[in-house]
Amino acid sequence: MIIFLYGADSYRRIQKLNEIVENFRKRQSNLSHERFDLSLPVGGDDEFSKFQIFASNRSIFDPVRLAILDNFLITPRAKELKEILKVNHKNEDLIIILNSSNKPAAGFTVLLKEPTKVQDFPALKGTEITVFIKKTAKDLGLAIDAPTTYALAQTFGGNTWGIATELEKIALAGSETKPTLSIHKPAENFFQLVSTMKYGRSLKDRLVALEIILSDKKDDPARVFNMLAYRLRDQKEADTFADYDVAVKSGKLEYEEILLDYALS
């Protein structure tokens, strides 16, 4: 079975991914699942080889297995991946969740056809943002008024990570607390935006800069990460980015999650 989740809105996409995994775990108490970043280089004990072994293994103790594949569209072993996906397209004993910020180009378009289960998570716009704010607030047990909803929408735009984080802060502080938000956006030059993320003292400016980079400009999160990691200021920052690098290469975090964590720090 193949499930394909894609789209620029990484917050809603990752929420859905976690929901799917949790549902499978509830239904299959002995579910075996692993996550693989297929952008890592070929050679030695690479991620693709680990995925190959995981996909081919069969066990009476783990009758159903689930694999999450990140960055599969840029794998250097695309031909082999396509063959594995083709063989397992209808295999109910191996669930493969494909997680991507982009829609597949030529070669992988078959993934958009049945029996693949496909869900798109485009960046939210207009009234969709208001609907998301209200739903997220409701899920958190918050009752927010129209001015607060408007302020959140104007400050964060389609940055659902920023909206959810702000609402969680309100929930933790108490429903009477109002968010301190300003309705403005920083400059839209890419290098200025990255600079705002790195040196901006205001949390809202850093989050809005991140939203513009990922949602409006649709820049590659890996490129943004590498820009931030260029000319580090001190050893502490070097250690932080080294930890981030290990986390993304081990499949524990995506670049979008790392960028959000950095902007919030």
Is 224 a residue whose pLDDT tops 90?
no
Higher pLDDT, 76 or 6: 6
How do residues 87-137 score in pLDDT, each as one tens digit? 888 888 889 999 988 887 766 777 777 888 989 999 898 899 999 999 999
Contact 111, 2 (CB under 8 A): yes
Read off the tokens for 212: 């513009």
How far lies 54's CA from each of 34, 73, 251, in Å?
8, 19, 15
**Which of 15, 7, 37 minimizes the C-alpha distance to 102?**
7
The C-alpha angle with vertex 110 and arms to 105 and 115, in degrees rounded to 5, equals 140
The fold adopted by the segment(s) 123-183 is Helicase, Ruva Protein; domain 3 (1.10.8)
Is 247 a residue whose pLDDT tops 50?
yes
What are the boundaries of each domain within the chain? 2-120, 123-183, 184-265
Let me know if domain 2-120 sits in CATH 3.40.1260.10.
Answer: no
Task: Say what the pTM is.
Answer: 0.63
- Per CATH, 2-120 and 123-183 having the same topology is answered no
User: In 46-202, which residue ranges form alpha helices assigned H by DSSP?
Assistant: 47-56, 78-87, 127-139, 146-156, 160-173, 190-199
How do residues 1-12 score in pLDDT, each as one tens digit? 899 999 989 889
How do residues 30-73 score in pLDDT, each as one tens digit? 678 888 888 765 544 578 888 988 888 776 666 788 999 988 88
